[in-house]
Structure 1
Amino acid sequence: MLYKFARFVVLIILYPLYRIKVIGKENIPNKGPVLICSNHISNFDPPVVGITSPRDIYFMAKGELFEKKFLGGLLTRIHAFPVKRGLADRNALRNGLKILEEGNTLGLFPEGTRSKTGEIGEPLAGAGFFALRSEAEVIPCAIIGPYKKFKPLTVIYGKPINMEKYRSKKTSAKEMADAIMQEIKNLKENYQNQ
């Protein structure tokens, strides 16, 4: 309930503030597990992906945010769960897989941290792990900024990545993450070259 309310409030603030334009929303399946992987250019990226996706999304958030009882409780109620950054957090990996196994949508930023230049960076292996270890449809997403008041911000959702070819040839998690990141780069470049 809180998720829907928070989503509505954020939507009515951010859509006009950043003149958000969404392309490819129809590429997100209506049901079944979905992994949305986006580039990361701002702290506003999670709410922007959250309000532009037709489905409720679960996000990882840095563990420190959950140390304060009130904030941790609030984040949990709006579908966030903690991850310890900088190390392989097995709890976070288990939580993410459980979300997908239950047929929900998991949102990830494969770079693990914001890009200070706006350029797409190197991904961590986590996105590849979830893509290969689940049955999720993997949707690349490109956010094209910058985040400036009343300047257009574009969110592009690509077609699902054909996971069969990766799952059948024993691709490593890092190679898979690289392939996902390449799809995100392609979306960004194709849009900017139009």
Structure 2
Amino acid sequence: MSLYDLGRGPVKLFFKLFHRIEYIGIEHFDAIDPKDGILICSNHVSNFDPPAVGAGCPRRLSFMAKEELFKVPLLKQLITKLHAFPIKRGAGDRQALKMAIKIVNEGGTLIMFPEGHRMKEGKLGKGQPGVGFITLKSNAVVVPVAIIGRFKLFQKTKIVYGQPIDVSIARAEKQKAAEVTLEIMNHIQALIDQHS
């Protein structure tokens, strides 16, 4: 059993006890073929986002992390065992994009935060085109996720997993990555509006 699998239960319990976390929409994963890769796209409010979303997701997640984190030896070992890989933020990192596409095309599940950084104001920021690029260049099922709340101690936080987004037309028409990203961001905003 991997470190990821061992940690999932305790992490989920931590969030339920200390952040009164409520997971909504987990059943949407039941409709996705277990062989299909999944691209989870979520708003980004806290450093807690990856483990909180991962604890509620029935699939094992991979995620990108800023390359600076991989320069700290112990942290590098830990996050690598938790299926993280480095990305150079703000640089259009082709290696990271290729790795992301490979993960989902091989049936893995990748979480991305299209805003590229935490939004401290709590409002949804502008999505970066990389998530649209990965959507267009892969066969991934795209699942929007909304994190509602700020992970304050003993205050309720919701994580809402939306229904998969139909991106078949975008792929067939070879839409621009920025347009696909905008569509994904609109789905995340709709989940925030519906569950706030």
The offset of 1:66, in angstroms, is 0.4
Cα distance in structure 1, aligned partners of 2:33 and 2:75: 30
Task: Confirm whether residue 25 of structure 1 aligns to residue 15 of structure 2.
Answer: no
Which digits, 9 at most, give the CA deviation of each residue in 1:156-179, with x for residues without a partner? 111111111111122111111111
- How many residues align? The count is 192
- Find the counterpart in structure 1 of residue 120 from structure 2: 116
Cα distance in structure 2, aligned partners of 1:69 and 1:116: 28
Which runs of no fewer than 5 residues in structure 2 stay unpaired?
none
Question: TM-score when scaled to structure 2?
Answer: 0.95
Which runs of no fewer than 5 residues in structure 1 stay unpaired?
none
How do 1:143-182 residues align onto structure 2 when only pairs under 5 Å count?
143-182=147-186
Cα separation, partners in 2 of 1:53 and 1:168, compared to 1, 3 Å = same
Which digits, 9 at most, give the CA deviation of each residue in 1:5-52, with x for residues without a partner? 222232221221111111111112251100000000111011111101
Cα distance in structure 1, aligned partners of 2:57 and 2:102: 20
Task: Confirm whether residue 46 of structure 1 aligns to residue 47 of structure 2.
Answer: no
Cα distance in structure 2, aligned partners of 1:23 and 1:190: 12
Task: Confirm whether residue 12 of structure 1 aligns to residue 13 of structure 2.
Answer: yes
The offset of 1:130, in angstroms, is 1.1
Retained in 2: the 8 A contact 1:140–1:161? yes
Worse-matched range after superposition: 35-44 or 25-34: 25-34
Question: TM-score when scaled to structure 1?
Answer: 0.96
**One-letter amino acid of the counterpart of residue 7, structure 1:** R
- Find the counterpart in structure 2 of residue 56 from structure 1: 60
Cα distance in structure 1, aligned partners of 2:10 and 2:166: 35
Cα distance in structure 2, aligned partners of 1:2 and 1:138: 26
Retained in 2: the 8 A contact 1:6–1:78? no
Cα distance in structure 2, aligned partners of 1:154 and 1:11: 13
Identity among equivalent pairs (%): 45
Retained in 2: the 8 A contact 1:141–1:155? yes
How do 1:89-108 residues align onto structure 2 when only pairs under 5 Å count?
89-108=93-112
Task: Confirm whether residue 189 of structure 1 aligns to residue 193 of structure 2.
Answer: yes
Q: What stretches of structure 1 move > 6 A for 4+ residues in a row? A: none
Three-state SS of the structure 2 residue aligned to 1:176 is helix
Retained in 2: the 8 A contact 1:139–1:161? yes
Cα distance in structure 1, aligned partners of 2:28 and 2:130: 23
Three-state SS of the structure 1 residue aligned to 2:59 is coil
The offset of 1:146, in angstroms, is 2.4
